[in-house]
Structure 1
Amino acid sequence: MRPLYCDEGIWIPVADGLSRRGWTVHTVRGEGKLGEPDRDHLSYARQNDWILVTFDDDFLSLVETNELAHAGIIYVQQAGRDIGSVVKSIDGRLETLSPDDRGIHYC
């Protein structure tokens, strides 16, 4: 499976939990990209063929209205959820994706 790119809104323990489950995880902080615009994060993830993981629905608007290319997005609704349930939800979704899936997926 392709690596993940967690935007700056994704809780660090979620990124760590995904890493512990065997996923290759890159974070905005780890890549030195804190504070950059969403468009730049989307472009960076696409250039590296990484799946963007986000709590931020602004990314959905970017790809739906402007038809910006992406390498796949996992949008996670965070309201009322704890770290463990978010990690399990993302992990479960990733397990069902084909290696070349470039869609938008909701968790």
Structure 2
Amino acid sequence: MAKEVSKIADKIRQVQTTLAVINGKWKLPILLSMYSGVSRFRDLQRNIPNITTRVLSKELKDLEASKLVLRIVYDTHPVSIEYKLTTYSFTLTPVVDEMIKWGKQHSKGNL
């Protein structure tokens, strides 16, 4: 019994770790909008309805800290900045695909 509880507690910790990285209203939409390739800040803002400049900036910093997004600064005038997904971010693809699948089923009422 104690071993079973320990396994459950470990699973809960792992889910909490995942949620700490991708949780929130905006992180997954940002990642999804970047799947097509490199993006500039304004492109992301246009692709994601209702996201504010402040929130997008904060979320991009969080995603960069989590090693899911790479920020590339070009030495141009004015300075040009692009964002792209890291190789590591693609490890989330199966998780995101399952979330999309589940969301489709849920919205159709096919539980």
Is this a same-fold pair by TM over 0.5?
Answer: no
Structure 1 length-normalised TM: 0.29
Computing the radius of gyration from Cα coordinates, the structure with the larger value is 2
